[in-house]
Amino acid sequence: MTCNDVERDLEAFVDRELAADSAAEIRAHLGTCASCRQRVAHREALGRLVRSAPYYEAPDRLRARVSGQVQRTRSARRVLTWAAAAVLVVSVGGAMSLVRSTAARGDAMVDDVVDGHVRSLMGEHLFDVRSTDQHTVKPWFLGKLDFSPPVVDLASIGFPLVGGRLDYMSGRPVAALVYQRQKHTINVFVSPATDAGTGVTNRTLRGFHVRHWVRDGMSFWAVSDLNDAELTQFARALQST
Span 210-235, pLDDT tens digits: 999 999 999 999 999 999 999 999 99
Contact between 184 and 228 (Cβ < 8 Å) = no
For 116-129, letters b (16+ CB in 10 Å) and e give: bbbbbeeeebbebb
The pLDDT of residue 39 is 83
pLDDT in tens, 140-182: 999 999 999 999 999 999 999 999 999 998 888 999 999 999 9
DSSP E strand boundaries for 131-217:
161-169, 172-181, 184-192, 201-205, 208-215
Higher pLDDT: 205 or 54? It is 205
Give pTM, 2 decimals.
0.61
The pLDDT of residue 54 is 64
- List beta partners, residue 188: 177, 222
The pLDDT of residue 51 is 67
Integer angstrom CA distances of residue 56 from 53, 85, 102: 9, 13, 18
Is pLDDT above 60 for 99?
Answer: no
Helix (H) or strand (E) holding 130: strand 129-130
- The SS3 of residue 226 is coil
What is the C-alpha separation between 241 and 237, in angstroms, rounded? 6
What is the C-alpha separation between 184 and 178, in angstroms, rounded? 11
Is pLDDT above 90 for 11?
Answer: no
The pLDDT of residue 103 is 42
